[in-house]
Amino acid sequence: MATEHFDEKAATWDDDGDKERQSGEIARGITAAASPAGGDRLLEYGAGTGLVTQALLEATPGLLVTLADNSTGMREAIGNKVEAGALPPDTRVWDLDLESDPVPEDRFELIVTSMVMHHVKELETVLRGFATMLEPGGHLCIADLDHEDGSFHDHDFEGHHGFHRSEVEASLTAAGLVEVHIGDGTSIEREDGTYPVFLAVATRPSD
Ligand SMILES: C[S@@+](CC[C@H](N)C(=O)[O-])C[C@H]1O[C@@H](n2cnc3c(N)ncnc32)[C@H](O)[C@@H]1O
């Protein structure tokens, strides 16, 4: 998919102070549901500037971090945070688009993604990719917009107007994941209204 929009936004992404609140709430939900431990391998897909991972590391230092994004600008912003010490020095930064790229061989105890899936056309392909990359017993955590009327995006947008939670549950189950739980993740407050964000957590069954 075209990445220009996020390439342009990357340098000022963190200037919106409310993103820190949103990321913190999402990370707290993930930590409570998935109970990660130091040494677990974490993949954040569509990581942007890595805000959710930064918040996850506050609760669980020692996570082994891989941040993937198909936007050059976002990957540069992540690289700057690694250099500045805001992300661990051994953070891996991947240019990955699971809609079109082969699924990496690497495996993870925890895969998280925040506000990305509504941009993804090939949902089934990407969800299957996540399921493949999870260790048995590992968790996938998806935070994204609840279904909205299309007013959320003010730029050229060909993605999803959020999701109904029932369709998220069905898609995660179809990808082979189990123990699907979906609750409130956070909310995005804007002048034109409040947009609720769900947090879905699912597990790869043991082989
Ligand atoms: C709305 S931003 C969210 C950024 C970050 N996760 C956050 O919550 O602050 C969506 C991010 O997903 C990335 N993205 C969108 N589609 C993608 C795809 N198919 N593969 C990888 N990254 C993608 C964008 O470049 C962007 O950084």
Region 97-119: mean pLDDT is: 98
Residue 15 and residue 20: Cα distance in Å, rounded?
9
Per-chain mean pLDDT for the chain: 96
CB proximity list for 141: less than 8 A, separation 6 or greater? 29, 30, 33, 34, 110, 111, 112, 113, 199, 200, 201
Ligand 1 lining (C-beta closer than 6 Å): 1, 3, 6, 19, 46-48, 51-52, 69-71, 74, 97, 99, 114-116, 119-120
Q: What is the pLDDT of residue 87?
A: 98
Is the separation of the CB atoms in 201 and 33 below 8 Å?
yes
pTM for the structure as a whole = 0.97
Residue 157 confidence (pLDDT) above 90: no
Residue 162 and residue 170: Cα distance in Å, rounded?
15
| Full set of structural domains in the chain with CATH | 4-10+18-203 (3.40.50.150)
Region 98-113: mean pLDDT is: 98
Residue 1 confidence (pLDDT) above 60: no
**pLDDT tens digits along 31-89:** 999 999 999 999 999 999 999 999 999 999 999 999 999 999 999 999 999 999 999 99
- For ligand 1, the distance from its centroid to the CA atom of residue 111, given in whole angstroms, is 14
